[in-house]
Amino acid sequence: MNVQLLDYELPAELVAQHPPDRRDEARLLVCDRVTGDVRHRSVADLPDEAGGRLVVVNDTRVVPARLAVRRASGGAVEALLVERIAEDTWEALARPSRRLRVGETLEGDGGSVELLESLGGGRWRILLRGAPHGELPLPPYIHERLADPERYQTVYATETGSAAAPTAGLHFTPELLARVAHERITLHVGLDTFRPVTAETLDAHELHGERYRVEAAAWHRIEAAEQVLAVGTTTTRVLETVARGGPLGGRSDLFITPGFRFRRVDALLTNFHLPRTTLLALVMAFAGVERTRELYALAIRERYRFYSFGDAMLIL
């Protein structure tokens, strides 16, 4: 697939800079793949649209991963935790990185960081002394400070480990979640998920794996469900990984692109994604390339809000 099909023009004012006052008041663009019908609703209407499907959510919690630290010389460094490797060992992205050396210790208000190994490209294996105690790593397209950091967490987030939020789940309130039959999985979202596709074709793009876990009882229920509605692309990747014989815990590097055959996900709730991303490719795999492009064009005409704090789309 030519990655130019992942391009679209978005007016800057449609990039949501803050979440709605109430999570479930976000708009919901509903597309029925069988009938072709399109409806404009709100996320609060999701239980009606779900139609008895089992709703599966990702209960990962975002790490306060943006650490402000300093070298012994006084130079400021930002260490962004990307993935936990062991109890106190992380992969991190350090900026500026050019002068950093293995063995250095960087000190900050949230603890100290020891540089263990350079992984190239500004990435380091580090030893973090103490629990992560920095700021939440909001995406770079959000320019306004978040008044309440919990708005970048889902209401059901319990398993700490993500570098970014599974944003489709940000729309749920406890009351909304209680109105649908639901189950949980865990996938810790890495920053590479959002990395733009720079190759000319999707086949040439490398997708880095992410850690996931599914409880056996949860999978039995998911497997037995008549139909499953996945909340977000991260949930989709886990369900399709296990449905293909993957273990209930491990790393998933499943790259879902147009032509993919879905074995467990029957409906998808998702936010509107950035151009040239693997997330948009997954949506196109589920809804069809041209249909997805049509829906995105419609959402822009109707002034839907895009990206992490934006509105949502339900594909049935």
Whether 212 and 293 share a structural domain: yes
Cα–Cα distance between 192 and 176 in angstroms, integer?
30
Among 75, 97, 129, residue at a domain's last position: 129
> Residue 111: its pLDDT value, please?
76
* The last residue of a domain, from among 88, 109, 129: 129
- Residues 104 and 217 both lie in one domain: no
Q: Which one, of 259, 265, 272, lies nearest residue 309 by Cα?
A: 272
pLDDT of residue 201 exceeding 90, the answer is no
Predicted model pTM = 0.93
Which domain CATH number covers 236?
3.40.1780.10
Q: What pLDDT, on the 0 to 100 scale, is given for residue 48?
A: 97
Report the pLDDT value the prediction gives residue 58, as an integer from 0 to 100. 98
Average pLDDT over residues 238-247: 98
Average pLDDT, the chain: 94
- Rounded CA-CA distance 112/126 in Å is 10
The pLDDT tens digits for 92-141 are 999 998 899 999 999 988 679 999 999 998 999 999 988 888 889 899 89
Q: Quick one: 232 and 271 in the same domain? A: yes
Whether 194 shows a pLDDT value over 70: the answer reads no
Q: Hey, what amino acid is at 63? A: V
Burial per residue of 248-260, b for 16 or more beta-carbon CB atoms within 10 angstroms, e otherwise: eeeebebbbbbee
Does residue 113 sit in the same domain as residue 148?
A: no
49-96, pLDDT tens digit by residue? 999 999 999 999 999 989 999 999 999 999 999 888 888 899 999 999
Task: Yes or no: say if 164 and 137 are a contact pair by the CB < 8 Å rule.
Answer: yes
Angle between helices 216-224 and 233-243 (to 10 degrees): 90
300 with 225, same domain: the answer is yes
Give the domain extent around 153. Answer: 3-62+137-315
Given 107, 129, 151, which residue is the final one in a domain?
A: 129
Residue 238: which of 181, 173, 187, 294 has the closest Cα?
A: 187
The pLDDT of residue 190: 86
* 315 strand-pairing partners: 31, 268
Both 116 and 233 in one domain: the answer is: no
* Domain match, 32 and 51 both: yes
State the pLDDT at residue 1.
84
- One domain, residues 17 and 55: yes
Q: Are residue 47 and residue 73 in the same domain, yes or no?
A: no
Q: Do residues 226 and 274 both lie within one domain? A: yes
Residue 111's CATH number? 2.40.10.240
The number of distinct structural domains making up the chain is 2
Is the same domain home to 70 and 181?
no
| Residue 145 or 6, more confident | 6
**Mean pLDDT calculated for residue range 277-297:** 97
Are 73 and 110 members of one domain? yes
What confidence tens digit (pLDDT) does each residue in 11-58 have? Answer: 999 999 999 999 999 999 999 999 999 999 999 999 999 999 999 999
Within 10 A of 131 (CB to CB), how many other CB atoms are there? 11
User: pLDDT tens digit string along 254-280?
Assistant: 999 999 999 999 999 999 999 999 999
